[in-house]
Amino acid sequence: MSDIASAPQAEDELSRRTERLEKLTAQYGNPFDVTKFDKTHSALSIKEKFASLAAGEKTTQVVRVAGRVMAIRNNGMFVDILDDSDRLQVFHDLKNTEPTRIELLKLLDFGDIIGVEGTVRRTPRGEITVDAVKLSVLAKALEQPPEKFHGLKDIEARFRHREQDLVATPRTRETLRARYKMVAAMRQFLYDRGFLEVETPMLHVIPGGALAKPFITHHNTLDMPLYLRIAPELHLKRLVIGGLSEKLFEINRCFRNEGISPRHNPEFSTLELYQAYVDFTAMIEITESVIFHVAKILHGSGKVKFGDIELDFTPPWPRKGMVDLIREHTGVDFYAANNAAKAREQAKKIGIATEPGISWGQVVEVVFAEKIEDQLIQPTHVIDLPKEISPLAKAWPDRPHVAQRFETYVNGWEIANAFSELNDPREQRARFLEQAEQKRGPDDPPHPIDEDFIKALAFGMPPMGGLGIGIDRLGMLMTDSPSIREVIAFPTMRPVD
RNA sequence: GACCUCGUAGCUCAGCCGGUAGAGCAUCUGACUUUUAAUCAGGGGGUCGCGGGUUCAAAUCCCGCCGAGGUCACCA
């Protein structure tokens, strides 16, 4: 001990900690040789089990706990450890501890992983504490964690070094745990309803099921380009066509090579679900039920705080026609302006310039996005979307330019999209061709048609409803997170030089 | 891609009408010893994102680059 005290000060933290590791190894064995520690309790389970202890009351109950050293107070007399359940205080009575253990205690650093055996008591100040009788270092931290009080504030550092963020920021632990708990709850909900969870390709020959710029990669042996999927939709339908299951879903990643924003990450997760022999109204019911279920699991009710507002996910949610909403908010009736030219003219009247050559449906879509979208705060199903912007949805037989489709909006964001799936292969081909001709951005290549999918439809797809829910955005709503990056463990970042 | 803002010690931040860098936590030494962001005293630690320019002198002013956040654009 005295030799540590008199040793020349290490020029940096890394060498200081490395020296301690060497000393540890020499005197107590290399902590990195340790392969296991028989934990009997989590921090939280101890606090719960001994909740009734009075201040100053001791027990003889021996427990074994382990976690990361988060604070060392009073010369090592008090050490706080953090495990995945909670923080817990460990006590060493320095007057009555054998010298070898005191030496070991003095080699501890903020951030080390330790195991402790001891008895439980509540201190006179009321803290549940483990009086240590054995102490072992299970891993040495050669880098120090962020500062214990302010934690890691720098947003960039938080996302680049998420493990440090997790150690330093309780909110990060809560947010990510809630996100994964939400996903688990969604899965369980769907299992309970008899849905089969499936997996479909991430690597697509033709990126279909949506209109978005894909990531391109290359397969060496096949010597061909492959695309990271932008949506799983077409493959999932093919599984239903084949009769694998009449109710199936996939929760997995999609990739879109587009802008990054507080609501967009290049890779993001969706739930896509298909159920044969039902229409889009059944998808409305599932959307409301699964999200209400998640809200209850995470918050105990359908009411969820988000920023300054309280969202209420208690079903049923209002259903509003897209064109009707526009009429209510602007006075313009796009059912009256029933062709592209009239629609563009009406849009211009309310200050929205549109590209020449776009369809009636696209005008409606643009006006909706500009005038309505961000006002839909409480959960709302927007129904009756134009057929022209719904190439995979059935239109109403008696309203041929309106699709049997809805999008659910919360806090101004689209979080769900569903329709009665188009199952006529001839109609589907025509829609794809139409879509391929539609003007997009000047640099966008024409969208290729997935003939395998058309052919699959030709084998006969049952009428069915399909639903997509954006997991990340729902996660943001459920965790009061203003940025999508908060609910993604490792958001996409540009590397530092 | 455009615009605005930011980048100073391991972490959180101050300094920025130019004069050569500070605090708290962390760390080291000592004291104290039932603490709770422990306390007290004393140390060490910085290519002020990178590069260039102006100037006697640049963390500070100017330009470029890199990274980040935001707004917009983009976005089935």
Residue A50 and residue A186 share a domain: no
Instruction: Tell me what pLDDT residue A149 has.
Output: 83
Nearest nucleotide by C1' from A485 CA? B69
In a domain, A296, yes or no: yes
Whether pLDDT at A139 is above 90: yes
Residue A303 and residue A232 share a domain: yes
Of the pLDDT bands very low, low, confident and very high (cuts 50, 70, 90), residue A30 is very high
Residue A21 and residue A123 share a domain: yes
> Are the CB atoms for A68 and A59 separated by under 8 Å?
no
In a domain, A358, yes or no: no
Nearest nucleotide by C1' from A160 CA? B68
Going edge to edge, which strands form the sheet with A216-219? A203-204, A224-228, A216-219
Q: How far is the CA of A496 from the C1' of B50 (A)?
A: 12
Whether pLDDT at A116 is above 90: yes
A141-194 pLDDT, tens digit per residue, is: 998 888 888 889 989 899 989 999 999 999 999 999 999 999 999 999 999 999
Instruction: Tell me what pLDDT residue A134 has.
Output: 94
Whether pLDDT at A8 is above 90: no
Whether pLDDT at A411 is above 60: yes
Q: What is the mean pLDDT of residues A54-76?
A: 94
Instruction: Tell me what pLDDT residue A356 has.
Output: 83
| A283: Cβ contacts below 8 Å, ≥ 6 apart | A273, A275, A406, A418, A419, A465, A466, A467
- Cis geometry, peptide bond prior to residue A316 (ω within 30 degrees of 0): yes
- ipTM comes to 0.88
CA A390, A393, A396, A400 torsion-angle sign = positive
Q: How far is the CA of A399 from the C1' of B30 (A)?
A: 87
Residue A277 and residue A180 share a domain: yes
Q: What is the mean pLDDT of residues A63-82?
A: 94
In a domain, A397, yes or no: yes
Whether pLDDT at A26 is above 60: yes
B6 C1': nearest CA residue: A154
Instruction: Tell me what pLDDT residue A442 has.
Output: 47
Q: How far is the CA of A5 from the C1' of B37 (A)?
A: 26
Nearest nucleotide by C1' from A96 CA? B33
A247-297 pLDDT, tens digit per residue, is: 999 999 999 998 899 999 999 999 999 999 999 999 999 999 999 999 999
Nearest nucleotide by C1' from A389 CA? B76
Residue A306 and residue A260 share a domain: yes
In a domain, A182, yes or no: yes
**Domain boundary residue, one of A159, A192, A213:** A159
Nearest nucleotide by C1' from A78 CA? B35
Neighbours of A268 (CB within 10 A): 20
In a domain, A494, yes or no: no
Whether pLDDT at A4 is above 50: no
**Domain boundary residue, one of A138, A159, A180:** A159
Residue A208 and residue A142 share a domain: no
Bridge partner list, A273: A249, A467
Residue A184 and residue A276 share a domain: yes
Residue A429 and residue A299 share a domain: yes
Residue A213 and residue A191 share a domain: yes
In a domain, A142, yes or no: yes
Nearest nucleotide by C1' from A4 CA? B28
Instruction: Tell me what pLDDT residue A2 has.
Output: 31
Instruction: Tell me what pLDDT residue A445 has.
Output: 60
Q: How far is the CA of A497 from the C1' of B54 (A)?
A: 29
Q: For the whole model, what pTM was predicted?
A: 0.92
* Domain span including residue A37: 7-159
Whether pLDDT at A396 is above 50: yes
Chain-wide mean pLDDT for chain A? 91
> What's the CATH code of the domain at A311?
3.30.930.10
Residue A209 and residue A288 share a domain: yes
Residue A287 and residue A207 share a domain: yes
CA A104, A107, A108, A114 torsion-angle sign = negative
In a domain, A94, yes or no: yes
Instruction: Tell me what pLDDT residue A151 has.
Output: 85
Nearest nucleotide by C1' from A126 CA? B36
Neighbours of A76 (CB within 10 A): 19
Q: How far is the CA of A68 from the C1' of B39 (A)?
A: 24
B39 C1': nearest CA residue: A74
Instruction: Tell me what pLDDT residue A196 has.
Output: 98
B73 C1': nearest CA residue: A259
Domain count, chain A: 2
**Domain boundary residue, one of A159, A192, A211:** A159
In a domain, A493, yes or no: no
Instruction: Tell me what pLDDT residue A497 has.
Output: 61
Instruction: Tell me what pLDDT residue A251 has.
Output: 97
A422-445 pLDDT, tens digit per residue, is: 999 999 999 988 887 765 544 556
On the CB side of A19, how many CA atoms lie within 13 Å of its CA? Answer: 15
> Are the CB atoms for A106 and A2 separated by under 8 Å?
no
A295-324 pLDDT, tens digit per residue, is: 999 999 999 999 889 999 999 999 999 999
Residue A245 and residue A312 share a domain: yes
Query: What is the Cα gyration radius of chain A?
Result: 29
Q: How far is the CA of A152 from the C1' of B15 (A)?
A: 22
Nearest nucleotide by C1' from A89 CA? B36
Whether pLDDT at A226 is above 60: yes
Q: How far is the CA of A110 from the C1' of B43 (A)?
A: 21
B26 C1': nearest CA residue: A147
Q: How far is the CA of A261 from the C1' of B36 (A)?
A: 40
Of the pLDDT bands very low, low, confident and very high (cuts 50, 70, 90), residue A10 is low
Bridge partner list, A455: none
Q: How far is the CA of A75 from the C1' of B38 (A)?
A: 10
> What span, in angstroms and rounded, lies between the C-alpha atoms of A284 and A280?
6
Q: How far is the CA of A154 from the C1' of B17 (A)?
A: 29
> What's the CATH code of the domain at A90?
2.40.50.140
Instruction: Name the range with the highest mean pLDDT among A4-13, A174-183, A365-374, A447-456.
Output: A174-183
Instruction: Tell me what pLDDT residue A11 has.
Output: 64
The bases of strand B with some atom under 7 A from any protein CB are 1, 10-13, 24-38, 43-45, 66-76
